[in-house]
Amino acid sequence: MDFDQQFAAANENFDALVERVKILEENASKNKEMLEVLVNHGRFFTVLTTELKPKLNEIVSRLDALDNNIKEVDEQLDAIPRIRHPIGQAQLDTALQALRTELTSAINESTQVARVATITVNKPRSALPDAFSGKREDWKSFQSCLDLFFLTHDSAYPTDADKIMFIISRLGTDTAASKLMEPYISKF
């Protein structure tokens, strides 16, 4: 291979590396807002891990204790031959009913604890997406920002029509995309 061929091959490799660096920079900028949301809402995730986990562990331990009680009663029932006497059957029915009542109240209490925990945690919000620049290479990033925005503002945009109108409003004022959507705005 002569010098010119080696130089051309090295130049191709360099161009490929430059293109790869561009792609990596684009990916980093696309994911920047999502990472900022995670960093800015660290308190939300801290609350989830520090406050909910002990409550869930308490519920699990109570359910384990109830499960052990049920197993003990089952073992006692297996050890006793079938009782035919009305007094023995009545005691057995009473014990089973008490166990069912205890299990039901524990389940109700655990769901109330879970509801209270859910109510006390606020859902994170993301910033309003920037207007679309109109450049094709910015579309994926714009779309990712919209997805994140709708995930964190779902109650504000409950229908597809609401979401479409919001997206149209973020297409910018003088872009080809906004001009393309102008005839359809009145239909929403």
Structure confidence by residue, pLDDT tens digits, 139-178 = 899 889 889 998 888 888 899 888 888 888 888 778 888 8
- With beta carbons less than 8 A apart as the criterion, state whether 104 and 142 touch: no
Q: What is the 3-state secondary structure (H, E, C) of 114-132?
A: HHHHHHHCCCCCCCCCCCC
- With beta carbons less than 8 A apart as the criterion, state whether 168 and 178 touch: yes
Structure confidence by residue, pLDDT tens digits, 15-26 = 888 898 888 888
Report the alpha-carbon distance of residue 96 to residue 60 in Å, rounded.
22
The alpha carbons of the chain give a radius of gyration, in whole angstroms, of 31
% of the chain at pLDDT higher than 70: 88
Residue with tokens 């990472």: 35
Burial 99-127 (b: 16+ CB within 10 A, else e): beeeeeeeeeebeebeeebeeeeeeeebe
Structure confidence by residue, pLDDT tens digits, 107-136 = 877 777 655 555 556 677 788 888 888 888
More confident residue, 94 or 82: 94
Structure confidence by residue, pLDDT tens digits, 26-80 = 888 777 777 777 777 777 777 777 777 788 888 888 888 888 888 888 787 777 6
Least Cα distance to 64 among 106, 98, 93 occurs for 106
- With beta carbons less than 8 A apart as the criterion, state whether 69 and 95 touch: no
Q: Would you call 152 exposed, middle or buried from its count of C-beta atoms within 10 A (0-12, 13-18, 19+)?
A: middle
Least Cα distance to 175 among 129, 131, 128, 144 occurs for 131
- pTM for the model stands at 0.37
Phi and psi for 136 in degrees, rounded to 5?
-60, -40
